A and B are shown apart, each in its own frame.
Chain A
């Protein structure tokens, strides 16, 4: 029996009858995952299907074949415990903590089985070093800027960071539970508020789930509109991050100019959707707002102007030797670490991983129009900044070409109600990386459970690794270069 035959296989944005998903004993489930991972399949999601926090519960895994563009699904029979995957498969570390927290299922032998979202940080133990001149620095939950809350605990020797532990959960609002109660009139609003700077990617992921389960198709025009706003969202964040990075190193001209240009893209979302974050733009079945010709011309003008302006400021920024010397070899994560820990998005590509949902599991318009994947190999703050600049340029080119040739308006079919007892997975390449939604309907077509994996869920551990052996004073800059979401992680 071939390995993949132990899994149900679907493409991104498809749905499958749940009875086609193999349900195997937990031992087989575990060993199949390890074998798939050894064959270069990536863990997109691993969670319990429990609807309350009492074990036993069945687990479900989604593995991605990024080369073949397929997703593999398998479920386990209900179990109260199983031998942990984490030591053999480090990318499972946080998934297993979440499983234990949400369902009580015990991953036996997990090296650090702490709460993820539900308990307060000061009630949980932290890894501690002992010794002369070793000291501990605790930061948060409230930080010194306009930023979301989280707790960071550093084990330091002088200025050198030996270990950073990141404890989140302060932002937990119960988003998954509210989504599981749907689909209903508030589902879209919740999806758009999982992580406000990624409202469009999460909205799209939710729409794709709804459309897959209902068997609805989206018109080409609406697919194009979605791609337009997703790339504008990427631009606003990438440009904003470049400004924030320049602020953290005290290079203020670039902070001011990138900061203003970020506004140009937020204003473009406002122009189209009436909201600077694109909330309300997407709806199951299509897009809520069209781009009429006058608006299209206005957007093309902004895009063209931005091509020049972004490059001018970026040339100034990256052309400054003192900027480069501050960014290079700061906060480095190797490709091996990224691969082992399953990092996604900008962080992974900055370390040389060829990983982008738009290429690997194309969805919507990206099935027909491609966008080149940018990757660098140094894995440091410089690489993460440069990847953002290069991706911003590719997004501008993509927008310019797409807005010049928007597909003709055509009637899409309205999205109906989901079919019963089906499971669907949607992956969207948000600006931070892979946004993953997985949902299953009960017999009545309502969700039985709904899981959300924001790219930050994969990537926070990357920030901790980037700090190892570095100086504690590099933390703000490294943190900014990852710019991960607390709310997206905490849900």
Chain B
């Protein structure tokens, strides 16, 4: 026992200061991407051709659009572009309320909105979630698990993962929703009492991610159930998930980056 106490003292206090302080992510972290259309050469589609998940598209007007819901945050596009028109910032904030809000054309992000008054009253201070993996590779699942460790300590925000959908206020869905899991996912969704939330996590959970085009899955959570929050990444960093959840619950006091608007990062 004395050893346990001694070890406890040695371990100290390890919980991250996020969200009060910047998460302090390293230089190579790839967060919110930025497109600089003025650098994008006409007639060049190198990034579009390099992208593993066809997340990049070049419109008829020659403007690039990057779909965060498909993006794996790899380096194929940045390596392919001779002009540096696509780049990743260290901004961890990515979560959005609507699928179309995940489309990036410049230096903007339509970040997740706070729930309506009634939902916020119900869930704002206590949110219980049930996780369902429907073809997730275990990376998103592992990061969701990491949210519960002493560093991210999800419990301090009143958010908790529970064992039964009947005890839950919502589902967190990972994976592209394989055909073999679609029925179980539907049953789990029906078992969550209304009003309920659905959070789609990771490129697979939003669009199918690296598995886009395979006939063995349905292409993400929204193909089966309505989704209230999309958290992009492959997998999303725990602070990206935390940011999305807190934003949804209206629990973030101020945005530390950008400033003026809490929801939209200005150009």
Contacts and interface: CB of A to CB of B under 8 A. Distances in A.
Contacts of A193: 137, 139, 204, 209-211, 234
A6 B41 CA distance: 58
Interface in B1-39: 3-4, 7-8, 10-11, 14, 25-26, 28-30
A146 B175 CA distance: 13
B216 A172 contact: yes
Contacts of B237: 270, 276
B51 A260 contact: no
Interface string B208-242: 01110111110000000000000000110100000
Interface string A153-181: 00000000000000001111111011000
Interface in A264-312: 266-267, 270-277, 279-280, 288-289, 312
A171 B138 CA distance: 10
Contacts of A96: none
B180 A172 contact: yes
Contact of B28 (A170, A256, A274): A274
A171 B175 contact: yes
Contact of A197 (B72, B142, B150): B142
Most chain B beta-carbon contacts within 10 A, residue among A193, A279, A313: A193
Contacts of B139: 193, 196-197, 199, 277, 279
B67 to A, nearest CB: 15
Interface in B159-196: 161, 163-164, 175-176, 178-181, 183-184, 188
Interface in B134-155: 134-146, 149-151
Contact of B163 (A144, A149, A270): A144
A367 interface: no
A70 B51 CA distance: 38
Nearest to A191: B210
Contacts of A288: 75
Contact of A149 (B26, B134, B151): B134
B197 interface: no
Contacts, number: 185
Contact of A319 (B3, B138, B178): B3
B133 interface: yes
Contact of B141 (A147, A272, A273): A147
Contacts of A371: none
Contacts of A313: 7
B97 interface: no
Contacts of A271: 26, 28
Given A189-B53, A197-B139, A279-B72, A145 B151 contact: no
Given A141-B184, A149-B134, A173-B135, A186 B74 contact: no
Contacts of A490: 178
Interface in A94-122: 117-120
A171 B211 CA distance: 12
Nearest to A118: B180
A169 B184 CA distance: 13
Contact of A188 (B30, B52, B180): B52
Contact of A147 (B28, B49, B133, B179): B133
A372 interface: no
Nearest to B130: A142
A118 B237 CA distance: 32
Q: How large is the interface on B (under 10, 10 to 19, 20 to 34, 35 or more residues)?
A: 35 or more
A49 interface: no
A319 B1 CA distance: 11
Given A144-B164, A485-B138, A189 B72 contact: yes
B178 A171 contact: yes
A119 B209 CA distance: 23
Contacts of B29: 270, 274
A259 B147 CA distance: 11
Contacts of B72: 189, 279-280
A439 interface: no
B234 A279 contact: yes
A316 interface: yes
A182 B79 CA distance: 21
A173 B178 CA distance: 6
Interface in A332-372: none
A487 interface: yes
Residue in A271, A277, A490 with the greatest tally of chain B CB atoms within 10 Å: A277
B150 A260 contact: yes
B151 A487 contact: no
Contacts of A119: 180
B142 A196 contact: yes
B118 to A, nearest CB: 28
A174 B210 contact: no
A170 B210 contact: no
B184 A149 contact: yes
A95 B179 CA distance: 23
Given A188-B52, A274-B28, A257 B7 contact: yes
B132 interface: yes
B184 A194 contact: no
Contacts of A256: 11, 149-150
Interface of B: 3-4, 7-8, 10-11, 14, 25-26, 28-30, 49-53, 72-76, 131-146, 149-151, 161, 163-164, 175-176, 178-181, 183-184, 188, 204, 209-211, 213-217, 234-235, 237
Given A178-B211, A185-B51, 15 more contacts: A118-B180, A142-B132, A144-B163, A145-B161, A171-B135, A172-B216, A185-B49, A193-B209, A193-B210, A240-B142, A262-B146, A270-B28, A280-B73, A280-B75, A487-B138
Q: Which 10 A-B pairs have the closest CB atoms?
A: A196-B139, A196-B137, A274-B28, A174-B214, A174-B216, A144-B163, A186-B52, A189-B210, A189-B52, A259-B149
Interface of A: 117-120, 141-142, 144-149, 169-175, 177-178, 185-186, 188-190, 192-197, 199, 240, 253, 256-257, 259-260, 262-263, 266-267, 270-277, 279-280, 288-289, 312-313, 316, 319, 485-487, 490
15 contacts: A120-B180, A120-B183, A144-B163, A144-B164, A173-B178, A189-B74, A195-B138, A253-B7, A259-B149, A259-B150, A270-B237, A274-B26, A279-B139, A485-B138, A487-B135
